[in-house]
Amino acid sequence: MSNFTKTAITSAFGSMLERMPFDKITVSGIIRECSISRNTFYYHFQDIYDLLDYWLDQEISNYITVAGENDWKENIRGFLDNCKSHKKLIYNLANSISRERLERYFFASTDGVITDFILRRAEGKNLPPQRLTAISNICRYSLVGYFLRFLWNGMKEDTEEILSELSVLVEAAVEYGIDEYKP
C-alpha cells in the first residue's frame, strides 16, 4: 500500500504541474487531490522539494540508461520529444524554480551516465583520471547547454538538428580526447 500511495502522490504532483506553476503547488493541494492526510504525505516526503526531487528522478530515469554507446542519442531524442509533448508542464516547472536549482539537477542527473559512457569508450586506454573527468565535463556541459537553449527557444528547434550538433561535439570530445592522448 505504501508504494501505491507514493505513486498516487507523485502522479497527482505531475498532474498539478500540467495545470499550474511549481511555486503554486502546495502540500495542502496535493493532499486534497490525493485524498490523503497530511501525515501520509510527510510519511513519504519531507517537503514539496523532496517530492520534486523524487518526481524528477522518476521522470529522468526513463531516459537515462547504461545502454549501448549509440543509445544516448535515442535517450536524448525521447527526452526532448517528451518535453515537447508536455511543454506546459516543463515551463510550469522551469519558470518557477531557480535556474541554479534546475541546472544543478540536470548536471547531477547526467553525471553518472556520461561518466560511464566515457569510461566504456576509454576501456583499455592508458588515460589518467583527470583526462577522463575533463572529457566527461565537456560532454555534460554540452548536453546541459543544448537543453537550456532548447528551453529558451520555446522548444521550437528540430530535435534531429540538436542531436546532430550535439553528436558532433560529443564524438569529437570522446574521439580526440581518447585516441589522440599520449601519456
Q: Which residues contact 90 (CB under 8 A, 6 or more apart)?
A: 83, 151, 155
Q: Looking at domain 1-61, what is its CATH homologous superfamily?
A: Tetracycline Repressor, domain 2 (1.10.357.10)
pLDDT at site 70 = 54
What does the DSSP 8-state code read for residue 157? S
pLDDT tens digits, 62-78 = 776 544 445 677 778 88
pLDDT at site 156 = 92
Residues spanned by CATH 1.10.357.10 within the chain?
Answer: 1-61
pLDDT at site 178 = 62
Distance CA 171, CA 118 (A): 10
pLDDT at site 18 = 93
User: Where residue 182 falls among pLDDT bands split at 50, 70, 90?
Assistant: low
Long-range contacts of 105-108 (CB under 8 A, 24+ apart): 105/53, 105/56, 106/144, 106/147, 107/140, 107/144
pLDDT at 1 over 90: no
pLDDT at site 67 = 46
Residue 107 and residue 130 in contact, taking contact as beta carbons nearer than 8 Å: no
Alpha helices in the chain (DSSP H): 2-19, 27-34, 38-44, 48-61, 71-85, 87-94, 99-121, 129-152, 159-179
